[in-house]
Structure 1
Amino acid sequence: MLVYAPAALLFLVFSWRALRERRRFGNAVLLGLAVLCALVAWMFRLIRSGSTSALFTAYSLLAVCALGILVLTYLLFVNGLRMVRKEGRSPANLLSLMAALSILGVIALLVTAAVVRTPLLVGIGAAALGLSSYVSFLFLSFVCYAFLYGRLQVRRKADFVVVLGSGLIGGSKVPPLLAGRLDRAREVHSRLTRRGASPVLITSGGQGPDEELPESHAMADYLIERGFPADLIEREDRSTSTEENLRFSKAIMETAKPGYRCVVVTNNYHAFRAALTARQAGVRGQVVGAPTAAYFWPNATLREFVAVLVAYRRTNIAIGLLFVLGGVLVWAAR
């Protein structure tokens, strides 16, 4: 059982860190490492046992993983085409398609390197395999921990509910994506009220160059039209990004109640990255997500993941260069 010790230790460290502060990307990495170590240990025991059934199980698992990569590539490709049809050809909407093409490119490169076996191709293939494995590990860790974070219970008491803006249709109309956030915020507010709290709801969003009014005002009007008390709404109408949403809302909350607690509402694909940003901004509260259209979720999740990679770019560039160096060493050794 000692073979599972690294996985158990990593899981204990993950649990301790998550209890102290849930809003850390390091939590996702630790959880991913714990699961990876457990899987490697299990595979090691299966192969080492030498029994026919154990070997069959081990190789079947590897086959399922390979098939899963192909299925994922197909689904990303289909989703990418659907995003282009529904949302247009902007770079942000092409992420699913680019991810599918990247996976196919890496597979083609590895197959070519294995067949041709020239030193240069083998070195490039080794570097590509290392980089793709690293990015895949981070992505799976991000998705799994984001899923867990989104299932956390809302605190029993909060002084504020903050809704993050996301743009208006036609310069004045709340789009379905933002309407989902506002409906989720009403639900959270109602739940907190039933528990004895009386939180203020902050609509957060400034006025874009193509908008007739600040997003926060359109959001407040949407809520009031649906029966939400106007006296419980505070408008934050200066922000132009998620970071400013949180920073300016924080200033409002600290002025009203220095020891505040809050719940921040956004969409489910955005909740974990918003939580990371909230921690960096010093916002005391939890982030919850509203449902998102199924076709929109894969591309939006990829966009959030890329944003997290950029936020930790120094670490990721350093690790990426190590894989490139490894590829150079493989090329030199051949």
Structure 2
Amino acid sequence: MLVYAPAALLFLLFCWRMLRESRRFGNAVILGLAAVCGLIAWMSRLLRSGSTTGTVIACALLALGALGILVLTCLLFLNGLRMVRKEGRSPTNLLSLMAALAIVGVIALVVTASLVRSPVLLGAGAAALGLSGYLSFLFLCFVCYAFLYGRLRVRRKAGFVVVLGSGLIGGDTVPPLLASRLDRARSVHAMLSRRGGPPVLITSGGQGPDEKLPESHAMADYLTARGFPAELIEREDRSTTTEENLRFSKAIMERADPGYRCVVVTNNYHAFRAALTARRTGVRGQVVGSPTAAYFWPNATIREFAAVLVAYKRINTAVCLLFVLAGVLVWATR
């Protein structure tokens, strides 16, 4: 059983860090490492057992992994085409399609390098395989932990509910994506009101260059038109990014109550990154997500993951350069 010790220790470390602070990307990485160590330990035991059953199970797991990559590539490709049809050909709408093409490209490069045995191709294939493995691991960590974070229960008490803006249609109309956030905010507000006094609801969003009014004002109008008390709404109308949403809302909450607690509402695909930003900006509160259209989720999740990579650009750049250097060494030694 000692073979499972690294996985068990990593899982205990994950639990300890979760109890201290759930809004850390490091938690996702540690959970992923625990899962990888546990899987390697299990596979090792199966192969060392020498039994036919163990070998068959190990081979079946490898085949299942290969099939999973194939299915994922097809789903990403189909989702990319659907995004283009529904949302247009902007760069952000092409992310799932580009991810599918990148997977196909890496597989083609590795297969070609193994067949041709060219030093340049072998070096490039080694670097591409390392980079894709690293990014795939981080992406799986991100998706799995974001799913877990989204299932955390809302704290018992909070004096504020903050709704993050996301742009308006036609310059003055709340789109379905933002309406989903506002509807979830109403349900969270009602739940918190039943546990104590009604919290203040902060609509957060400034006015974009193509908008007729600040997002926060349109959001407040949406809520009051559906019976939400206007006296419980505070408008934050200067922000243009998620970080500014949180910083400016934090200032409002600190003026009203220096010891505040809050619940931040956004869409489910954005919740974990918003939580990371909330921790970085010193906002004391949990982030919850609202439902998103299924076809929109894969592309949006890839975009959120890319934003997290940029947020930790120093360490990610260093690791990627190591894989590139490894590819150069493979090329040089051939």
| Same fold flag (TM > 0.5) | yes
SS at match of 2:258: coil
In the aligned structure 2, how far is the partner of 1:195 from the partner of 1:255?
Answer: 23
Say whether 1:54 aligns with 2:23.
no
- Structure 1 stretches of at least 4 aligned residues deviating more than 2 Å after TM superposition: none
In the aligned structure 1, how far is the partner of 2:260 from the partner of 2:319?
Answer: 39
SS at match of 1:203: strand
Normalization by structure 1: what TM-score? 0.99
1:330 deviates by 1.5
1:14 deviates by 0.9
Q: Give the corresponding residue for 2:170.
A: 170
SS at match of 1:234: strand
Moved more, 254-263 or 204-213: 204-213
Moved more, 193-202 or 284-293: 193-202
Is the contact made by 1:156 and 1:192 (CA closer than 8 Å) also made in structure 2? yes
Q: Give the corresponding residue for 1:142.
A: 142
In the aligned structure 2, how far is the partner of 1:178 from the partner of 1:205?
Answer: 11
What RMSD over aligned residues (CA atoms) do the two structures have, in Å? Answer: 0.6
In the aligned structure 1, how far is the partner of 2:85 from the partner of 2:271?
Answer: 26
Is the contact made by 1:205 and 1:214 (CA closer than 8 Å) also made in structure 2? yes
Offset from partner CA, 1:83-136 (integer Å, 9 cap, x none): 001001111000000000000000000110111111211111111110000000
1:197 deviates by 3.1
Letter in 1 for 2:251: A
State how 1:216-295 maps to structure 2 within 5 Å: 216-295=216-295
Gaps of 5+ in 1: none
Is the contact made by 1:158 and 1:197 (CA closer than 8 Å) also made in structure 2? no
Offset from partner CA, 1:113-162 (integer Å, 9 cap, x none): 11111121111111111000000000000000000000000001000000
1:57 deviates by 0.2
In the aligned structure 1, how far is the partner of 2:81 from the partner of 2:214?
Answer: 33
Moved more, 209-218 or 97-106: 209-218
In the aligned structure 1, how far is the partner of 2:263 from the partner of 2:165?
Answer: 15
State how 1:115-194 maps to structure 2 within 5 Å: 115-194=115-194
Q: Report the count of equivalent residues.
A: 334
Offset from partner CA, 1:13-32 (integer Å, 9 cap, x none): 11111110000000000000
Q: Give the corresponding residue for 2:8.
A: 8
Normalization by structure 2: what TM-score? 0.99
Say whether 1:40 aligns with 2:23.
no
1:310 deviates by 0.6
Q: Give the corresponding residue for 1:106.
A: 106
Letter in 2 for 1:225: A
Q: Give the corresponding residue for 1:300.
A: 300
In the aligned structure 1, how far is the partner of 2:197 from the partner of 2:121?
Answer: 63
SS at match of 1:288: strand
Letter in 1 for 2:73: T
Offset from partner CA, 1:171-220 (integer Å, 9 cap, x none): 11000000000000000000111112320000000011111111001100
Is the contact made by 1:262 and 1:284 (CA closer than 8 Å) also made in structure 2? yes
SS at match of 2:166: coil
1:333 deviates by 2.0
Say whether 1:204 aligns with 2:176.
no
1:65 deviates by 0.3
In the aligned structure 2, how far is the partner of 1:2 from the partner of 1:38?
Answer: 11
1:225 deviates by 0.5
In the aligned structure 2, how far is the partner of 1:113 from the partner of 1:49?
Answer: 34
In the aligned structure 1, how far is the partner of 2:323 from the partner of 2:196?
Answer: 54
Is the contact made by 1:160 and 1:263 (CA closer than 8 Å) also made in structure 2? yes
In the aligned structure 2, how far is the partner of 1:43 from the partner of 1:129?
Answer: 21
Q: Give the corresponding residue for 2:18.
A: 18
In the aligned structure 2, how far is the partner of 1:101 from the partner of 1:318?
Answer: 25
Letter in 1 for 2:20: R
- Counting aligned pairs with the same residue, the percent is 81
SS at match of 1:155: coil
